[in-house]
Amino acid sequence: MLQRFERNISVLGRSEKTFINYIRHLASMSLHFGCVPTELDPEQVLDYLYELQQRSKTPSQSYFKHTVYGLRFLLKTEGLPYEYLKLPEIKHEKRLPSVLSREEIWRMLSGAKLLKHRLLIGLLYGCGLRCMEVRNIELGHLDFDRKLLHVVQGKNKKDRYVPLSEHLIRGIKKYIATSRPEKFLFEGENRGQKDFDSRYSQKGVQWAVKTVAKQVGIRKDVHTHMLRHSYATHLLEDGVNILTVKKMLGHGDVRTTMIYLHVCQTPDAYPHSPLDKVFEQCRPNGK
């Protein structure tokens, strides 16, 4: 069953991380009952899911959700319908993305003490990259003459090109000259060692972004993807066509990009607050 599960998840193009995540949750369930989940009856499954739900204190209930997702994929692998175990529907939370202002972006860029951290922030925001994509940048992906970055095999195995700022190009050239990376632009402690991932770690990128945001006094819970959200929002505020923004983000469906229309500040979207008119028209002179 495990071999079939691994084969199917690979054939469908899911990542190894997804496979490990699903299997970890299914293994916990198997150990709990002493058998594989497909040997359970629906009542046992629902009791287990209820226990997970009660145990979870986080709003997203991620452990509960990933257990359900893993069970769904297992049933699909075994050719069984979702009704076989009476799996519940997972309702997706409709949350608007959090974004940084341009002033906050500038504070992070000017406040970062290390050039490496400034470039990480600059690329995540200035090119709208995901954490994985900034880690995967190789020297050969940088086209300084055309001022383009080739994002190779991003999410869903898709390539795209995005513009490179001249400010970034100057910083990257300086960084390459001093740090002398061999393959990846940002390399970690395993650089040069065979059979080891030489890229800068995911935790390293996340730590750098959070640390710089805290150092410059930003109170928002800043994370790497917030810089990507800010990139999309600011482009729309600058009047860039939404289909162009979709292409630059690497989205497969424009409906995914349209969520940023709810947070960007354009004259049509947010004309003014009515409170301003109250103060202008009703406040006593000079008071």
Predicted structure pTM score:
0.73
What was the pLDDT predicted at 157? 79
What was the pLDDT predicted at 269? 58
What was the pLDDT predicted at 282? 79
C-alpha 29/C-alpha 87 separation (Å) is 14
What was the pLDDT predicted at 191? 64
The answer as to whether 178 is a domain residue is yes
What was the pLDDT predicted at 133? 95
pLDDT tens per residue across span 256-280: 999 998 888 776 656 666 777 666 7
What was the pLDDT predicted at 194? 60
- Terminal alpha carbon distance of the chain: 75
Of 84, 115, 144, the position where a domain reaches its end is 84
213 and 180 share one domain: yes
pLDDT tens per residue across span 142-194: 999 999 999 998 887 789 999 999 999 999 999 999 999 999 999 987 665 66
**CATH number of the CATH domain containing 190:** 1.10.443.10
Tally of domains in the chain: 2
In the chain, which stretches have pLDDT less than 50? 59, 286
The residue type found at 158 is K
Place of tokens 């632009």: 185
Contact 231, 126 (CB under 8 A): yes
| 187: DSSP letter | B
The answer as to whether 136 is a domain residue is yes
The answer as to whether 229 is a domain residue is yes
Contact 161, 148 (CB under 8 A): yes
66 and 121 share one domain: no
The answer as to whether 267 is a domain residue is no
24 and 148 share one domain: no
The answer as to whether 62 is a domain residue is yes
Place of tokens 């046992």: 44
The answer as to whether 273 is a domain residue is no
Q: Residue 69's domain spans which residues? A: 2-84
Sheet order of strands, 142-143 included: 142-143, 148-151, 160-163
**Tally: H helices and E strands in the chain:** 13, 3
What was the pLDDT predicted at 59? 46
The answer as to whether 249 is a domain residue is yes
What was the pLDDT predicted at 180? 94
Place of tokens 């951290």: 117
224 and 154 share one domain: yes
The answer as to whether 92 is a domain residue is no
Of 50, 84, 118, the position where a domain reaches its end is 84
Closest CA to 114 of 175, 169, 31, 170: 175
Positions annotated as catalytic residues are 130, 155, 225, 228, 251, 260
